[in-house]
Chains A and B, each alone.
Chain A
Amino acid sequence: MNEIKERVSRALDEQADSIDGATLSRLRQARARALETPPLWQGWRLPLALSAAISLVAALVLLDAHQGQQLPEELLPVSRQLEVMEIINLEVDLELVEELDFYDWLEQQENAGEEA
């Protein structure tokens, strides 16, 4: 079985090493484009979402104060907290959310490795 693994790995290595110049150039371009992409936490989406959320919270607080209503301990009623969360969630990358479980697991693996 090891012989099969070695032979196939060697063939795959050869395949990777024999990629033509034009394709390699396209890969380099793809890589450059990817590196130009602003990460999720640095792009305009996250700051915009946070700004929107902060503005909404501020507006709701002012509105409540203006109406002379006493704010509950948790600052905002649950329904309004949900509204805020909804706006934030609109801007969160869905794929990132799906991968959170995977990322947690990776961290656990590393922590376990460090402890061992």
Chain B
Amino acid sequence: MQGIFYTVIPESSIETSATTRQQALDRFLAGVERRALVMAEIATSSREEALDLVQESMLAFVRAYANKPEEQWPPLFHRVLQNRIRDWYRRSKVRNRWKAWLGFGDSDDDTDPIQSLPDPRRSTPESELKQADTGKAIVAAVGRLPLRQQQAFMLRTWEGLDVATTARVMGCSQGSVKTHLSRAMQTLRLSLEEYRE
């Protein structure tokens, strides 16, 4: 005769485990929130939009992935964040098209919304030369990169993700990551000539 055996876990043990996980989540999010904000702000050129994206990403991440092993949290969080940034770009593209159609902005006929969205800050290399802070100028140069190049560069170089993980986070092939990264490096090399140390 087959029997069903249950393991009784004390309630206090469950509560302790939940509290520990909550603390681990808090530490993890506290550790990534600043960098996430910088990434989102560079992509959107708006602190308010960036704060919204980071908040949405935190909510979605906790809701869906808090139970996953801690070592998986960084790529999962970046996946959520990058998806939201990409969605924001697509929405911006639609808004820009409507504005152009209604006569409130310039028309943009490019087919790739992510690669070709115009720089919202309308900054130019000339205007950036006037910036006193070289660091800000460098960050602005990253912001001028097309979104996919930004993502590849920041995830690989700043976050230190490997090519395979970056590709999965971005939802593209490893070859695409390498191409985006190479183009980003070329552009940044030219942009940063002015700020050579």
Give the B-binding residues of A (Cβ under 8 A).
1, 4-5, 7-12, 14-17, 19, 23-24, 26-28, 30-31, 33-35, 37-41, 43, 93, 95-96, 99, 102-103, 105-107, 109-110
Contact = CB atoms under 8 A, between A and B. Distances in A.
B135 interface: yes
Given A35-B29, A93-B63, 11 more contacts: A8-B158, A11-B138, A12-B158, A19-B37, A31-B30, A33-B59, A39-B63, A39-B67, A93-B64, A96-B64, A102-B76
Nearest to B154: A12
A31 to B, nearest CB: 5
A40 B192 CA distance: 45
B55 A33 contact: yes
Contact of B68 (A4, A12, A35, A103): A103
The 6 nearest A-B residue pairs measured at CB = A34-B58, A30-B55, A11-B138, A11-B135, A16-B34, A34-B62
Contacts of B54: 27, 30
B35 interface: yes
B139 interface: yes
A41 to B, nearest CB: 6
A26 to B, nearest CB: 6
B138 A8 contact: yes
A108 to B, nearest CB: 11
A31 B22 CA distance: 11
Give chain B's interface residue range (CB within 8 Å of chain A): 35 or more
A39 B38 contact: no
Contacts of A19: 34, 37-38
A36 B38 CA distance: 24
B172 interface: no
Interface of B is mostly: helix
B75 A35 contact: no
A110 B72 contact: yes
A33 B195 CA distance: 41
A12 B135 CA distance: 8
A7 B197 contact: yes
Contacts of A8: 138, 141-142, 153, 157-158, 188, 192
Interface string B184-197: 01001100100101
B117 interface: no
A4 B62 contact: no
B163 interface: no
B64 A99 contact: yes
Contacts of B55: 30, 33-34
Contacts of B128: none
Contacts of A14: 135
A102 B172 CA distance: 12
Given A35-B29, A95-B60, A23 B47 contact: yes
A31 B29 contact: yes
Contacts of A23: 37, 47, 51
